[in-house]
A and B are shown apart, each in its own frame.
Chain A
Amino acid sequence: MTEPLLRVRDLKTYFVTEHGSGTARAVDGVSFEVQPGETLGIVGESGCGKTVTSLSILRLIPEPPGHIRPGSFIEFEGRNLLTLEPRELRAVRGNQIAMIFQEPMTSLNPVFTVGDQIAEAAIVHQRLSRRAARTRAIEMLRLVGIPDPEERVDHYPHQMSGGMRQRVMIAMALVCHPKLLIADEPTTALDVTIQAQILELLDRLQAELGMAVMLITHDLGVVAGSADRVVVMYAGQVVEQAPTAALFARPLHPYTEGLLASVPRLDGPPAREHGRLHGIPGQVPAATAWPEGCRFHPRCPYAWDRCRAEAPPLLDAGGSDPGTHTVRCWLLTDPKRRTPHP
């Protein structure tokens, strides 16, 4: 087994709420690993702690109100990111670990050309001259498939479409050839056609550059085609973790099951033949008051007394390779209770 590129252990990121009256436990004991060169999908609804997890890795959590609790551990290539000095951290951020965000419009600076914005990281981290950085920016634009890169390099973000801006974001993130790219909902605001283009681009770039990707999304349909492994998050915790094929073949947590049933499918029955979607009832509870016991029990179709009283640990789902498929659900101890979906 190779050494993981990124190791997150028992990460707890809490926020003091506005009125100082409570603590939002946005990320509450999350552990996972990213291997070099792999794509890890992180899936869950809004409010499950996916984005806070990724911002914690880059230490971009505003303090206060947020803080990463003592005992949390984030190791990147053998170094604990949580104890790095600001200067050392800056050398990692944007250089070895890069991030792209959901909103390509608001995460680009409207008053600089896209070329300047791509070149900036190369100038700061790799000490390229302005001229060399500009050449690099044109190369990057070509790499992400923007036509006429020599001309586009001098354009401003508002002159580009949503899909092109997302390509520019990717070019910015990849200019220093990071070892890990964190992509937070990179396709959520885009048309399905542009989404397909961006996902294919990420796949191709990953193969060419050999980087690892953390793909964060609420849509299991998006990770199916590109992730090697999937971490499903709910209420600040990991509730299921498995290789992609195993997760889709045998989703074991009722939350994963619900997320999968929510995805509109082309191979489902048409509307008039009761093509109803089996969504998940209710919504993610507030992070200031996670439910007692299993945090999913109020929305779970199988919940019984034990789920309401006792919080389940991550249990091994068996399978050929122990520890690769883990599930935070009491059903694993009592499979007979998994009756057909009510």
Chain B
Amino acid sequence: MTPALVDVQGLVKHFPGERGWLGLGRPRGVVRAVDGVSFAIAPGQTLGLVGESGCGKSTVGRAILRLIEPDAGRVTIDGQDVVTLGASALRALRRRMQIVFQDPYGSLNPRMTVHQMLAEPLSIHRLASGADAERRIAALLEEVGLDPGFADSYPHELSGGQRQRVGIARALSVEPQFLVLDEPVSALDVSVQAQVLNLLADLQQRRRLTYLFIAHDLAVVKHIADHVAVMYLGKIVERAPAPALYARPRHPYTTSLLSAVPVPDPKAQRQRIVLTGDVPSPAHPPSGCPFHPRCPHPKKDTRCRTEPPALREVAPGQLAACHFAEQPL
């Protein structure tokens, strides 16, 4: 087995809780946004990180790149420890790890042309200048499927799909090995979403990229991921190779997420598990299994309310944190 390119062990990020009136006063409690997350991604592979809003999945992506400082845990990229790195060494490593954001409207500078946005990382990392830079910018635009004529456009002149392509080109400009894709297609129309997913798959193959693909929709993830990790309230509740997870999900939360995906077939007769309520606040997580208040499993009992289930191997390579993982829904 090849050594992992990205290795995350026991990642923790807590935020101070809500403050009292007008944000004055002491923060009350802590928000356990990420609470001991571990996974590894082999070179050239994709891990899909899935969960609802507020489960901590974006915080994981950002903490790995140290866009926010993790509180505890170990992150290595290609053998290099990211967490303890000094500022200048971190800047050098940033060349090898990049991020694409969800919101193609908010993540591009409205005052910069596409050309300027792509030229900036090249000059910061001293990768190319002059005619060489021009060549690389033209090649990047072509690679992400944008007409070179867009080089002089500003973000407001582009559609959502085109902006997302610019975001991808910008991330690729420094030739990274590892990309965090934070909900890169959630804000797009399905037709454009399909184009961008295909583009990401092509780029991965051509450049042998490693992806952490963050999403809330398991159907989208199925089209790109080799492994899938499902997060709930700051913890991974199931982690498995994609085929195993889709064929036989072991955690009732995974099953519920799968059943929430709309099926484009009016004849599909299936049992819908509609989860009631919202995700509980990570500032006040439920006792025992954090999923127990919403869990549809018929066997759930007092143990679920009192004893937090450990993430354990249920089938070869398939880990689940559920007392009843042997009898999935």
A280 contacts partner chain B, Cβ-Cβ < 8 Å: yes
Instruction: Indicate with 1 or 0, residue by residue over B179-222, a CB within 8 angstroms of chain A CB atoms.
Output: 00000000001111111011001000000000000001111101
Q: Which residue of B lies closest to A219 (CB)?
A: B190
Give the chain B neighbours of A265 by CB distance below 8 A.
Answer: 219, 222, 263-264
Whether B264 and A195, one on each chain, are in contact in the complex, defined by CB atoms closer than 8 angstroms, is no
Q: Which residue of A lies closest to B259 (CB)?
A: A196
Whether B46 and A262, one on each chain, are in contact in the complex, defined by CB atoms closer than 8 angstroms, is no
Complex CA–CA separation, A263 to B217 (angstroms) = 12
Give the chain A neighbours of B264 by CB distance below 8 A.
Answer: 220-221, 224, 248, 260, 263, 265
Whether A277 and B278, one on each chain, are in contact in the complex, defined by CB atoms closer than 8 angstroms, is no
Q: Which residue of B lies closest to A187 (CB)?
A: B262
Complex CA–CA separation, A264 to B246 (angstroms) = 14
A200 contacts partner chain B, Cβ-Cβ < 8 Å: yes
A224-B262, A263-B264 are contacts. A200–B193 as well, Cβ < 8 Å? no
B275 contacts partner chain A, Cβ-Cβ < 8 Å: yes
Give the chain A neighbours of B160 by CB distance below 8 A.
Answer: 46
Q: Which residue of B lies closest to A45 (CB)?
A: B189
Whether B257 and A277, one on each chain, are in contact in the complex, defined by CB atoms closer than 8 angstroms, is no
Q: Which residue of B lies closest to A282 (CB)?
A: B195
Give the chain A neighbours of B167 by CB distance below 8 A.
Answer: none
Complex CA–CA separation, A262 to B220 (angstroms) = 11
Instruction: Indicate with 1 or 0, residue by residue over A266-288, a CB within 8 angstroms of chain B CB atoms.
Output: 11101110011111110100000
B25 contacts partner chain A, Cβ-Cβ < 8 Å: no
Whether A221 and B262, one on each chain, are in contact in the complex, defined by CB atoms closer than 8 angstroms, is yes
A225 contacts partner chain B, Cβ-Cβ < 8 Å: yes
Q: Which of B162, B260, B266 is the one whose CB lies under 8 Å from A193?
A: B260
A218-B190, A224-B262, A224-B264 are contacts. A271–B46 as well, Cβ < 8 Å? yes
B272 contacts partner chain A, Cβ-Cβ < 8 Å: yes
A264-B193, A279-B194 are contacts. A192–B260 as well, Cβ < 8 Å? yes
Which chain A residues (146-204) contact chain B, with CB distance < 8 Å? Answer: 147, 161-164, 191-197, 199-200
Give the chain B neighbours of A194 by CB distance below 8 A.
Answer: 52, 278
Complex CA–CA separation, A267 to B265 (angstroms) = 11
Whether B190 and A193, one on each chain, are in contact in the complex, defined by CB atoms closer than 8 angstroms, is no
Whether A262 and B191, one on each chain, are in contact in the complex, defined by CB atoms closer than 8 angstroms, is yes
B27 contacts partner chain A, Cβ-Cβ < 8 Å: no
A-side interface size class: 35 or more
Give the chain A neighbours of B54 by CB distance below 8 A.
Answer: 161
Whether A271 and B222, one on each chain, are in contact in the complex, defined by CB atoms closer than 8 angstroms, is yes
Complex CA–CA separation, A279 to B193 (angstroms) = 8
Q: Which of B75-83, B120-128, B223-231, B282-290 sits within the interface? A: B223-231
Closest CB-CB distance, A156 to chain B, in whole Å? Answer: 14
Q: Which of B159, B198, B277 is the one whose CB lies under 8 Å from A279?
A: B198
Q: Which residue of B lies closest to A46 (CB)?
A: B189
Whether B217 and A192, one on each chain, are in contact in the complex, defined by CB atoms closer than 8 angstroms, is yes
A224-B264, A265-B264 are contacts. A259–B190 as well, Cβ < 8 Å? yes
Give the chain B neighbours of A262 by CB distance below 8 A.
Answer: 190-191, 193-194
A268-B223, A271-B222, A271-B225 are contacts. A195–B262 as well, Cβ < 8 Å? yes
Give the chain B neighbours of A222 by CB distance below 8 A.
Answer: 262
A244 contacts partner chain B, Cβ-Cβ < 8 Å: yes
Whether A225 and B197, one on each chain, are in contact in the complex, defined by CB atoms closer than 8 angstroms, is no
Whether A193 and B189, one on each chain, are in contact in the complex, defined by CB atoms closer than 8 angstroms, is no
Give the chain B neighbours of A283 by CB distance below 8 A.
Answer: 159, 161-162, 192
B256 contacts partner chain A, Cβ-Cβ < 8 Å: yes
A271-B225, A272-B226 are contacts. A244–B266 as well, Cβ < 8 Å? yes
B274 contacts partner chain A, Cβ-Cβ < 8 Å: yes
Closest CB-CB distance, B240 to chain A, in whole Å? Answer: 12
Give the chain B neighbours of A124 by CB distance below 8 A.
Answer: none
A46-B189, A221-B263, A283-B161 are contacts. A266–B219 as well, Cβ < 8 Å? yes
Give the chain A neighbours of B226 by CB distance below 8 A.
Answer: 271-272
A258 contacts partner chain B, Cβ-Cβ < 8 Å: yes
A266-B246, A271-B225, A275-B223 are contacts. A147–B260 as well, Cβ < 8 Å? no
B53 contacts partner chain A, Cβ-Cβ < 8 Å: yes
Whether A225 and B277, one on each chain, are in contact in the complex, defined by CB atoms closer than 8 angstroms, is no
Give the chain A neighbours of B26 by CB distance below 8 A.
Answer: none
Complex CA–CA separation, A264 to B220 (angstroms) = 5
Complex CA–CA separation, A277 to B189 (angstroms) = 14
A84 contacts partner chain B, Cβ-Cβ < 8 Å: no
Q: Which 7 A-B pairs have the closest CB atoms?
A: A279-B194, A221-B262, A277-B194, A262-B194, A264-B219, A196-B260, A221-B264
Given contacts A191-B52, A196-B260, A200-B274, 18 further A-B contacts (CB under 8 A): A46-B189, A192-B217, A192-B218, A195-B260, A196-B272, A218-B189, A218-B191, A220-B190, A248-B267, A264-B219, A265-B263, A266-B219, A266-B222, A266-B263, A277-B223, A279-B193, A279-B194, A283-B192
30 A-B contact pairs sorted by A residue (CB < 8 Å): A45-B191, A46-B189, A161-B278, A191-B52, A191-B216, A192-B216, A192-B261, A193-B216, A194-B52, A194-B278, A196-B272, A197-B275, A197-B276, A200-B274, A218-B190, A220-B190, A222-B262, A224-B262, A248-B265, A261-B194, A263-B264, A266-B246, A266-B258, A270-B246, A271-B46, A271-B201, A271-B226, A275-B223, A276-B201, A279-B191
